[in-house]
Amino acid sequence: MTGFRLGYGTNGFANHRLDDALRVIADLGYTSVALTLDHNHLDPYAPDVSKQVDHVANQLDGLGLRCVVETGARYLLDPDRKHYPTLVCEEPERRIDFLTRAVRIAAGLGADCVSFWSGIRPEHVPPDTAWRRMRVGVSEVLEEATALNVPLGLEPEPGMFVEHLSDALRLREELGAPELLGITLDVGHCVAVEPEDAATCIRRTGALLVNVQLDDMRTGVHEHLEFGEGELDLPATLAALSEVGYTGVAAVELPRHSHAAPEVAGRALAALHAALVPPNQETTDGADLEWVSDVDHPWLVEAEQRVRRNPAAIGTLFPAVGRKVGRAPLRPEADQQGLVHGTVDDLARIRLLAVLSEVLDPALLSGEVAQLYRYGDDAERRGVLRGLAVLPAATVPTGLELVKDALRANDIRLVAAAMGDFAARHLDAHSWRHGVLKCLFVGVPLAAVSDVDGRTDEELLRMVADYADERRAAGRDVPADAVKLLEAS
């Protein structure tokens, strides 16, 4: 069982040396890369290009990155005209030459495919002519691709001649449905210009999908945005990739964010992890599991299936989570200990609890959750606390007992996990205030506490003010979060 591989596009690291970009991308936790050939990133016209290809292939291998080759460089072929020449302009030869070079480089790198687009149709070129040029150009590149067995991915691109998925599919049909001609789909483009949403486009493309670009966009606006800034339904999109059995590269495409590449890439991966939902699987027959994505953690997907088949299995799976999927904080750049956003294993345990709540009778669910906490180590207890918010209402009384137990602990990770959405919604005012004060006291950032603005009341402010006085009286600093809370009131 193989799943798709989350990656990042090097065109979003244009201000990094290629070696550095690859290392940063791998260090963040991505397992693939979309490599845009450009003047400073594996220039196909460099005299020592074959040596460079060997070098990059070794780098990719060493970092465990899979790769696709992208050909969207802006000024690689013509320093004056962006993206020129294209396949549909008067003199497409240099574009065709470039694409065949890209195919050879992809073969040398062991890349999954070469991705390309049509280019903008110049106003004076009639559509018929442009269409014919596409057919001729693509056929020519396909010859090299066939010789070297490298798949091509035609990408519909807003504003270009082949703009919609339906155009790309039609061209492919007209060329006789060549096996090596597939589709590259940018899910943001689907939001911007497709008549259907990204998940539907993915289903429509199905097995023809050879490369996926991930980004957010708004309807009608071709601007690559970070996840959450546009209208893309990311969880549904990723679920659709799993559903169609996509096993290739799915790389974040943010070509205008190079100025802050590492931070942006870190945020993107956190958003992707948060959006990865368990596949909504109807059958439990092993033979039907082929399409299930392992995304980053094949173990987790299997664990979810086991809990679905046999809810009691969670007792042995829950303690093993950290060993299997890792323990890193989800947003290490801002939250080194995972106090605010949690950790990878927290997220995995929340997903297991969500599955458990679907398959277990609510009456039994409370008991099982209490047992997982009672016999859990620090990490398991954290997972239960963070998972309470996804459980049905019948478990609220049990959840409250567990939250209160955790708030008696002095392990700051438990205290932080206890003060999330569940506590914000259900914990009584007195306990909640004491929870906030405890966070200030033991050094849990208030960012870890849900709905501070909504639940802060006069009594809490009095308590925090007294605490601040006590600190000052002792000649100690007042925690910045306490000052902020008092100033905001």
Partner 1 sequence: MRIFDPHIHMTSRTTDDYEAMFSAGVRALVEPSFWLGQPRTSVASFTDYFDSLIGWERFRAAQFGIRHHCTIGLNPKEANDPRCREVLDVLPRYLAKDGVVAVGELGYDSMTPEEDEVFARQLTLAVEHELPALVHTPHRDKLVGTKRTLDVVHESGIDPGRVIVDHLNEPTVAVVADSGCWMGFSIYPDTKMDEQRMVAILKEYGTDRMIVNSAADWGRSDPLKTYKTGLAMLDAGFTESDVDKVLWQNPVDFYAQSDRLVLDELPGFAPSAETFAGNSVLRGGGNT
Is the preceding peptide bond at 85 cis, omega within 30 degrees of 0? Answer: yes
Q: Of 26, 10, 15, 18, nearest to 42 (Cα)?
A: 18
Structure tokens at 421: 């959405």
Pairing outcome for strands 216-218 and 221-225: antiparallel
**Residue 379 touches partner 1, criterion: CB under 8 A:** yes
Question: Residue 385: phi, psi to the nearest 5?
Answer: -60, -45
Please give the Cα distance from 372 to 384 (Å, whole number).
7
Choices 129-137, 184-192, 320-328, 389-397 (CB under 8 A): range interacting with partner 1:
320-328
Q: Spell out the alpha helix ranges (H) of 197-275.
A: 198-205, 234-243, 261-275
- Shortest reach from residue 455's CB to partner 1, in Å: 19
- Shortest reach from residue 410's CB to partner 1, in Å: 4
Q: Which one, 259 or 408, has the nearer CB to partner 1?
A: 408
**Residue 110 touches partner 1, criterion: CB under 8 A:** no
**Residue 283 touches partner 1, criterion: CB under 8 A:** no
**Residue 299 touches partner 1, criterion: CB under 8 A:** no
**Residue 3 touches partner 1, criterion: CB under 8 A:** no
Q: Which one, 122 or 298, has the nearer CB to partner 1?
A: 298
Query: What per-residue string of b and e applies to 390-420 under the rule 16 or more CB within 10 Å gives b?
Result: ebeeebeebbbebbbbbbeeeebbbbbbbbb
**Residue 381 touches partner 1, criterion: CB under 8 A:** yes
- Shortest reach from residue 401's CB to partner 1, in Å: 16
Which of 143, 229, 377, 469 binds partner 1 (CB under 8 A)? It is: 377
**Residue 342 touches partner 1, criterion: CB under 8 A:** no
Please give the Cα distance from 283 to 288 (Å, whole number).
7
- Shortest reach from residue 331's CB to partner 1, in Å: 13
Choices 89-97, 119-127, 196-204, 323-331 (CB under 8 A): range interacting with partner 1:
323-331
**Residue 400 touches partner 1, criterion: CB under 8 A:** no
Q: Of 254, 156, 275, 132, nearest to 204 (Cα)?
A: 156
- Residues 436-455 touching partner 1, rule: CB under 8 A, are 437-438, 441-443
Confirm if 34 and 8 have CB atoms less than 8 A apart. Answer: yes
Please give the Cα distance from 489 to 453 (Å, whole number).
9
**Residue 45 touches partner 1, criterion: CB under 8 A:** no
Q: Which one, 320 or 394, has the nearer CB to partner 1?
A: 320
Residues found near partner 1 in the complex (CB under 8 A)? 315-316, 319-320, 322-323, 327, 329, 332, 336-337, 375, 377-381, 408-413, 437-438, 441-443, 467, 474, 476, 479
